[in-house]
Structures are given as C-alpha cells and as structure tokens.
Amino acid sequence: MAVDYVARSAARTRRREASDVTALVRRLDWILLGSVGVLVGYGLWAIAGITRHDVPGNAHYYVVRQGAYVAVGVVGLLIALLIDPAWYARRWRLVFGGAVFAIAIVFAQGAVRGSKRWLDLGFFRFQPSEFGKVLFVVALAGFLAERSRKLDETRTVLQAVGLACIPIFLVFVQPDVGTAMVYAAAFAAILFVAGVRWLHLGVLVAVAVFVVTTVLWIAPAGGVHILKPYQVDRLTGFFHPNSDPADATYNIVQSKNAIGAGQLNGRGVDGATQTTLHFLPEHHTDFVFASLSEERGFVGASILLGLYLLVVWRGLRVIALARDPFSAIVAGGIVFALLFQIFVNVGMTMGIAPITGIPAPFLSVGGSSMIANLAGVGILLGIHVRARGSRR
C-alpha cells in the first residue's frame, strides 16, 4: 500500500509539473519572444557580412563567436524566465550589493585601452557594468516597491538617489560615460513608473542639468578637468563636426559617409568600401549601424529599426500588464534603458548624439551586452507570464 501511495503521489507531482510548464509556455508573449529572436538572427546575418573581411583566412570568426554569446544568452533568458520576479523583490539588497561589488572589482584589474571596465576570467572577458544595467534596475525597483507608500516623502527619493549614485559613479570613473548615462536614464524611468511626485522629478532634472553643466563648463573654466581628453575631443567634435575631420571628428565623418553611401538598397558586402577597407573604425561594435546601412542601405536599416520598435512596444505592454508595482517598475527600467541605448547608438552614427561607446543592442559584437540584454528580455517574459497567470 505504501509503495502504491508513493507511486501515485509521484505521478501527481509529475503531472502538476508538466501542467505548470505547459501553462508557462501558453502564457508567454510570443510576439516579444519572436521579435527578439528575429532581431538576434538579423544581427548575426548582418555581422557575418560586416566582419567577413576583418580576420584574414577566417571570414566567420566574429559571427561564430557572436553565435556562442547568443547561445549563452538564451540560457540566461530561460533562467530569468523561470525565476518569479517576487524572488528578486525579496532579495533586492543582495542584488544591489552583488552589482556594486562586480562593478567595483574591475578597479583591481589592469587597464585595457586606458579604461578599467573588464574582468578577465581567462576563458571569458566580460564587462560587469553591462550586467549591472539589469541588476541595477531590479535592485532599485525592489527598494521603491518596498516603500511604495512613502514615495511622496522626500527622504525616500533622496535614499533612492543615494543608492543609484553609487553604481553610476563607479561606472563613470572607469571611465565609461556612455554606460553611466544608461544607468541614469534607467533610474529616471524607474522613478517615473514608480509614481514619484512631479515636484521631486523636476528637482532631480534641475540637479542633473547643474551637474552636467559643472562637468562640461563650470569645472573646466576653473581649471578642474573631470573628463578625459578623448572625451572632451568627442564632445568638441559633436558640437563642431567640421572642426577637425582628420582627427577628433574622423569617426563621425566616416560614419556619415558610410550611411549616405548605402542609399536605398546598399552597396553589398564586397562593395561597402568604408567597412571592408576599414575607413570606418569600430565598424562591428560602436559604428555597426553605419556599416549595416552601407551594406544593406535604407531598407536594411529600416528593418532593424522596425524590429527594435516592435520589441520596445511589446516591452511597454508588459509594463501595463504587470501584476504588481515591483514588476511594473522593473519592466519600465529595462525597456527604457533598451530604448535609450538604441537612440544614442543610432544617433551617434548620424551625428545627432555624441560618441559615447554605447553598443547597439542585439547587433554590436560583444558577449556582455548580448547576454545581459537577453537576460533582461527573460525577465520581461517572466513578468508577462506571471501577470497573465494572476489575471486567470
């Protein structure tokens, strides 16, 4: 009898687990998942053409490596999907501490190209600040959701600002101004979705403007130079694009030439001289959109932007469907951070935004960005699944 009881109990457990998995699959936002899948595939196809001539004798070097990053990212997406967002909400302090530690530990490593942004594990070199974008959003959302009834209090907002400033400052001094801007943009979205008073938001915007003014003009006028010389050159090149095309503004001039040369249908892989002859620096990372535009033209660039738009739209829908404030805040932070990266990366290749080194999501070659973005999508899908489940 005991054996039969155990067998029946085990069978019921298996049926319940199978039912849970079936329900999870049925509640997925298949449009979001499918659009991200198409976007990643389109990015791999684009990288295959953009980097075909980069490594002599190995035309598929970068696309194979990027494919491996995608595989790891898919695993991260599945893990994030299976974790209930409530788990993060209860452990936001641990998440925040882990993110700050990972970002800070890079200062113990040697500088790479004048910056301390990477951790080298031997078999994999990654950028903790990329993963920190997602962890930052989760941690701050947990803090604000925990104090949802005190959001009107100035003390709560100041505490949130104090917490946010820690990782933002650490990223800024690496130095990585672009990623620090992404953190700041995500924090602004977090405060907005959480429901912070407009007065507090206005004061924070005014403070942010004052800080930027101080860094760019007031401090340098007083002999204190906060930015690195190459960062100053980038800003000078942005405001005066024709001042020094052979040096400080070389990248943006070549980027504009590549985009314009693509015209409607593009030059193709072999005809894209800006890319294949390496006139355009960083054509597979920072300026990958310019290379795509040169090879595939307006049509190819429009397909990419359309896929981006579809992903952002479905992400905004997740915010509206979220079952609780924490989930809504997390979704808002992730989606706006993604939108900000798209805008700045595409904008800097066309000269409407300063060069900051922000990668194009799901397109630029790089493991940290790809894995972190796919994990973020996994969290969005997890929020959507639980939202539909709670409504049922």
Please say whether the beta carbons of 151 and 195 come within 8 A: yes
CA–CA dist 51, 285 (Å, integer): 10
24, part of any domain: no
63, part of any domain: yes
Please say whether the beta carbons of 24 and 33 come within 8 A: no
86, part of any domain: yes
End-to-end CA distance of the chain: 38
- In the numeric block, which tokens belong to residue 157? 């907002």
Sign of CA dihedral 143, 147, 151, 154: negative
CA–CA dist 295, 49 (Å, integer): 8
CA–CA dist 74, 254 (Å, integer): 34
User: Along the 392 residues of the chain, how does pLDDT read in single tens digits?
Assistant: 444 544 455 445 444 544 456 767 788 899 999 999 999 999 999 999 999 988 888 889 999 999 999 999 999 999 999 999 999 999 999 999 999 998 888 887 655 555 667 777 766 677 888 999 999 999 999 999 999 888 889 999 999 999 999 999 999 888 888 899 999 999 999 999 999 999 999 999 999 888 888 877 877 777 777 777 666 666 666 666 666 544 567 788 888 889 999 899 989 888 888 888 888 888 888 899 999 999 999 999 999 999 999 999 999 999 999 989 999 999 999 999 999 999 999 998 988 888 888 899 999 998 899 999 999 999 999 999 988 555 54
- In the numeric block, which tokens belong to residue 50? 């953009």
1, part of any domain: no
Name the β-bridge partners of 125: 120
- In the numeric block, which tokens belong to residue 65? 């490596």
Number of domains in the chain: 1
345, part of any domain: yes
CA–CA dist 61, 57 (Å, integer): 9
147: exposed, middle or buried (Cβ count in 10 Å: 0-12, 13-18, 19+): middle
- In the numeric block, which tokens belong to residue 48? 């295959």
How many Cβ atoms sit within 10 Å of the Cβ of residue 151?
18
52, part of any domain: yes
CA–CA dist 219, 239 (Å, integer): 19
What's the pLDDT at 232? 67
Please say whether the beta carbons of 140 and 333 come within 8 A: yes
What's the pLDDT at 18? 44
Range of the domain at 125: 29-391
225, part of any domain: yes
Residue listed under structure tokens 């001042």: 243
How many Cβ atoms sit within 10 Å of the Cβ of residue 384?
25
Task: List all residues 6 or more positions away from 370 whose beta carbon is below 8 Å from its beta carbon.
Answer: 40, 66, 69, 70, 73, 362
**In sequence order, which ranges of the chain are alpha helices (DSSP H)?**
2-26, 30-50, 61-82, 85-90, 92-104, 128-146, 154-172, 177-194, 198-213, 219-221, 229-239, 250-262, 273-276, 288-321, 325-350, 367-391
- CA proximity to 245, closest of 233, 236, 237: 237
14, part of any domain: no
